[in-house]
Structure 1
Amino acid sequence: MQEGRGKHWVLIVALLCSLHLSAQEVSVRGGFVEDSLLIGQDVNFWMAATYPPEMEMVFPDSLYSFAPFEFSDKTYFPTKVKNGLAYDSTVYIIQSFEIDQVQYLWLPAIILNNRDTTIINTPLDSIFLTELAPVVSDTTKLKTNVDYQTVERTFNYPLLYYILGGLILIIIILLLIFGKQIIKWFKLRRLRIQFEQFDVIFSDYVKKLKVDPDPELAERALVFWKSYQQRLEKLPFSVLTSKEILGYDFAGELEKPLKSIDRVVYGKRVDENIFQDFLQIENFTQHRYSKKVEEIKDGK
């Protein structure tokens, strides 16, 4: 592009040097260097003037409206005086974004006097727009293609990473704020589910013992109670004898029912009121469950 501009300027200077005017004559000339243009492409418009040296002449600057073109840059050649005449020349680099087939431009040279100004315009010059694609008319029919086109789907991994990162951040914040409450809720929920399962099965044992006080059934009920009580108290109830269980302070109220159950289980005796001893054990377990719930709520 720079070599092309340099060749244009050499051509312009050669044209200016070939002019021969009288000492008092003012002449303003100009025009496009190129014959055609593309939309948005730089084109050159040259402007030259010959006038007496005592005059003051001004060419358009970047603030001037070059419509329908837009100003991009300019190259100004210093004034030369030869044979009693002053020579000025400038090359403007302009662009067009219009779609007219032929576009026109002229530029003014302003002579400054003491009281007024004189404007002399360059001749009106034209340049042709080169089309890269033909213009589609209103009557052109478009061919419809409804065939299915397979498009490769690309998974948006960055978005996934942002979502996962956001979720992890939210979880961390929730744990920091509500961590203790969440842990407490899970403990209470697990404790409640375990007790509800125990209560259903143990109540069924009590009902069966009321109808049939069988020593083997009483033994199975006792083993089941010890297994649950071990999970509740975090103590080895399953391997403890009744005497060892009564060694804990909180189990003092079990002395009578446990001794009665031992006589039935180990002595193979039938006691029609054995179900009442298991009811006392069931009430004891209910009380211990409620106490554990309160301890968890208090943070113990």
Structure 2
Amino acid sequence: MRDGQGKSWLTIIAFLCAFNLSAQEITVKGGFVEDSLLIGQDVNFWMSAIYPPDLEMVFPDSLHSFAPFEFSSKTYFSTQIVDGLAYDSTVYTIQSFEIDKVQYLKLPAVILKGSDSTILETPLDSIFLTELAPIVSDSTKLKTNLDYQAVDTQFNYPLMYYIIGGLIILVVILLLIFGKRIIKWFKLRRLRIQYEQFSEVFNSYIKKMKVDPEPELAEKTLILWKNYQQNLDKAPFSVLTTKEILSFDYTDELTEPLRSIDRVVYGKRVQEDVYQDFQQLENFTQDRYSKKVAEIRDGK
């Protein structure tokens, strides 16, 4: 990590420790560490929260959409309790491949309390894109050089133009014929990668739960499932209660497993077979994934 970024992180942490709030006040803040970025270069976005320690605060993870940025990694700082308040902070390392001169980002924090969820967002922050190629104005003066310069044999530019023109026409024809197939292929590939990443982590949690069915692990697994399901179905699963999730037409089969999981997560009960409920969630998600794949293939 660059020294400048390291100093910035220390500044952020020192800034967090300087807050003076009452015991019931909740504050979520965040912003870019750097002032500008280059395309594809790592930049950092800090996020902090101050809240009563009896609340449960959840920050975004790698499955969250950081658009127009791409997630790279994150550094989490352990929760600190100072003067009866909990202090959480995380620094996300992200990249951008967009060419907008000014790019914006804000991130949500979710407060979990009982069966309810509340979303608080950081202020919208901006960062400037640094352009490497300078703009040449009409008033720019050119340096005259009258010295003789040896040049190569004349290049056949007309032939080059014909070749480039032919390639452009060929590409346009291929896009007209296969454009929809190409777009469909990219959508299916992205969908498959996201599902495989989710399934790998989710099943690893289920295996751990068979050995150690702790309520904390069940809660972590439930949040992972809600975040992925939200991305798959484009519905706000991460902030919905079980009752709200079951109000969807296609979630009837989740009635028993979700209520059983709620008893473990919110009732803090150790239930040996809770992993079976999560297996039912995984089966549901696999079915929704298959239907989404079928929709894309059918052009819906």
**TM-score of the two chains, using structure 2 as the length reference:** 0.48
**TM-score of the two chains, using structure 1 as the length reference:** 0.48
